[in-house]
Amino acid sequence: MKIRRIGFGVFLLTIVVILINLNTSASKVKMPNLIDVPLEVAITTLKKSGLDTGKIRLGQGAPEYVVLEQRLNGKKILPGTLINKKEKVELIVPANFHSSIEPLFMPNLVGLSLNEAKALTSGYDLVLKQVIHINKATKHFHRVFRQKPLKRTKIRKGDSVLLWVEKNNKTPSNDLNGALD
Which residue ranges make up each domain of the chain?
26-102, 104-181
* Architecture of the domain defined by 104-181: 2-Layer Sandwich (3.30)
Task: For residues 165 and 172, give the distance between their C-alpha atoms in angstroms, rounded to a whole number.
Answer: 12
pTM of the model: 0.42
Task: Give the dihedral sign, CA 149/154/157/158.
Answer: negative
Q: Which residues of the chain are modeled with pLDDT < 70?
A: 1-26, 58-65, 95-103, 136-141, 169-181
pLDDT given for residue 162 in this prediction: 94
pLDDT score for 134? 83
The dihedral through the CA atoms of 71, 88, 113, 44 has a sign that is positive
pLDDT tens track for 112-142: 988 889 888 888 888 899 998 887 645 556 8
CATH number of 26-102: 3.30.10.20
